[in-house]
Chain A
Amino acid sequence: MAEARGLLERRHEPWITLPSFLWLVLLFMVPAAIVFAIAFKPSDPFGGIGAGWTLQTLRSLGDPNYPAILWRTIWLSVATTAACLLLATPTAYFMARTSASVRPLLVLAVIVPFWTSFLVRIFAWKVVLHPEGIVKHALAALHLVPQDGSLLYHSGAVLLVLVYTELPFAILPLFAAAEKFDFRLLEAARDLGAGPLRTFWSVFLPGIRRGLLTATLVTLIPALGSYVVPDLVGGPTSEMLGNKIAQRTFMDRNLPHASALSALLALAVLVPSAFAITLARGKRGDGTGGAA
Chain B
Amino acid sequence: MKRSITPFVITVLVLAFFYLPICVLVVNSFNASRFGGEWSGFTLDWYRKLLKSPEIWHALGNTFAIAVVATIGSTVLGTTAAFALDRYRSRLQDAHYLLVYAPLVIPEILLGISLLLFFVALKVELGYVTIVVAHVTFCVSYVAMVVLGRLQDFDWSLVEAAQDLGADAFTTARRVLLPLLAPGIAAGALLAFTLSVDDFVITFFVAGPGTTTLPLRIYSMIKHGSPPLINALSTLLLLVTTTTVWLSQRLLKEAK
Interface of A toward B, CB cutoff 8 Å:
1, 3-8, 10, 13-14, 16-17, 19-21, 23-25, 27-32, 34-35, 38, 48-49, 87-88, 90-91, 93-95, 97, 106, 108-113, 115-128, 130, 132-134, 136-137, 164, 167-168, 171, 186-187, 190, 196, 217, 221-222, 224-228, 232, 242, 245-246, 249, 255, 258-259, 262, 265-266, 269, 273
Contact between B88 and A217, CB atoms less than 8 A apart:
no
Q: Are the CB atoms of A19 and B24 closer together than 8 Å?
A: no
Determine if B201 and A227 form an interchain contact, defined as CB atoms under 8 angstroms apart. yes
Interface membership of B117, Cβ < 8 A: yes
Could you say which residues of chain A place their CB within 8 Å of the CB of B103? Answer: 24, 28
Tell me the nearest residue of chain A to B84, going by C-beta: A17
User: Contacts of A226 on B, CB cut-off 8 Å?
Assistant: 107, 109
- Complex partner residue of B24 from A17, A134, A269, CB under 8 angstroms: A134
Contact A109-B80, Cβ < 8 Å, known A23-B137, A265-B107:
no
Residue of A nearest to B235 (CB): A120
Pairs A-B, 10 closest by C-beta atoms: A225-B107, A20-B81, A124-B21, A31-B114, A31-B118, A132-B35, A94-B7, A6-B169, A90-B7, A17-B84
Q: Is B45 an interface residue (CB 8 A)?
A: no
Taking the complex as formed, is B14 at the interface, i.e. its CB lies under 8 A from any CB of chain A? yes
Contact A16 B80 (CB under 8 A): yes
Q: Does B51 touch A at the CB level, under 8 Å?
A: no
Known: A94-B7, A111-B245. A49 touches B121 (CB 8 A): yes
Q: Does B185 contact A (CB under 8 A)?
A: no
**B105 surroundings in chain A (CB, below 8 A):** 217, 221, 269, 273
Binds A, one of B54-62, B64-72, B156-164: B156-164
- A264-B90 Cα distance, complex, nearest whole Å: 33
> When the two chains form the complex, which single residue of B19, B35, B237 contacts A117, counting CB atoms closer than 8 Å?
B237
Check A124 against B234 for contact (C-beta < 8 Å). yes
A contact residues around B81 at 8 Å (CB):
17, 19-21
In contact, A17 and B215 (Cβ under 8 angstroms): no
Q: Find chain A residues with CB under 8 A from B165 CB.
A: none
Is B144 in contact with A118, judged by CB distance below 8 angstroms? no
Complex interface residues of chain B between 138 and 168 (CB less than 8 A to chain A): 140, 144, 156, 159-160, 163, 168
Contact A4 B159 (CB under 8 A): yes
A137: chain B residues at CB < 8 Å are: 37-38
Besides A10-B88, A21-B81, A130-B35, 6 other A-B contacts (C-beta < 8 A): A6-B163, A17-B84, A117-B198, A137-B38, A242-B107, A249-B113
Tell me whether A16 and B110 are in contact (CB under 8 A): no
**How many B residues have CB within 8 A of the partner chain?**
95
Among B35, B78, B105, B244, the one with the most A-chain Cβ atoms within 10 Å of its Cβ is B105
B182 adjacent to chain A (CB < 8 Å): no
Q: Given contacts A20-B140, A35-B117, A112-B245, is CB(A29)–CB(B163) below 8 Å? A: no
Q: Are B120 and A4 in contact (CB under 8 A)?
A: no
- A19 → B minimal CB distance (Å): 6
Find out whether the CB atom of B118 lies under 8 angstroms from the CB atom of A108: no
CA distance A30 to B76 in the complex (A): 22
Q: When the two chains form the complex, which single residue of B18, B219, B249 contacts A119, counting CB atoms closer than 8 Å?
A: B219
Which A residues are in CB contact (< 8 Å) with B22?
113, 116, 121, 124
A14 and B168 CA atoms in complex are apart in Å by 21
Q: Is the CB of B107 within 8 A of A19?
A: no
- Name the distance in Å between B7's Cβ and chain A's nearest Cβ: 4
Given A94-B7, A227-B109, residue A17 in contact with residue B237 (CB < 8 A): no
Which residues on the A side are within 8 Å of B108 (C-beta)?
222, 225
- Taking CB atoms, residues of chain B closer than 8 Å to A21 are 81, 92, 95-96, 99
Please, which residue of chain B has its CB at the minimum distance from the CB of A263? B110
Q: Let me know if B181 is at the binding interface, CB within 8 A.
A: no
Chain A residue nearest to B138 in the complex (CB): A28
Given that A35-B114, A123-B230, A262-B114 are contacting pairs, would A20 and B106 also be in contact in the complex, using a CB cutoff of 8 Å? no
Residues of the A chain whose Cβ atoms lie less than 8 Å from the Cβ of B204: 246
Residues of A within 8 A of B4 (CB): 196
B131 interface contact, C-beta 8 A: no
Closest A residue, CB atoms, query B141: A24
B113 near A262 with CB under 8 A, answer yes
B115–A27 contact, CB under 8 A?
Answer: yes
Does B136 contact A23, Cβ atoms closer than 8 Å?
A: yes
A116 CB contact (under 8 Å) in B1, B35, B84, B241: B241
Partner of B172, one of A7, A23, A25, A87: A7
Which residues does chain B contribute within 8 Å of A262, judged by CB atoms?
109-110, 113-114
Contact assessment for B18 and A167 in the assembled complex, using a CB-CB cutoff below 8 Å:
yes
With A24-B140, A112-B245, A190-B1 as known contacts, state yes or no: A167 contacts B14, CB within 8 Å: yes
Bound complex: CA A184 to CA B249 (Å): 29
- Chain A neighbourhood of B6, CB < 8 A: 90
Q: Given A10-B88, A90-B7, verify A119-B99 contact (CB < 8 Å).
A: no
Give bound CA distance, A141 to B156, whole Å: 66
| Cβ-closest chain B residue relative to A114 | B245
Given contacts A13-B84, A117-B198, A249-B205, A265 and B20 within 8 Å (CB-CB): no
Contact partner, A120, options B13, B107, B218, Cβ 8 Å: B218
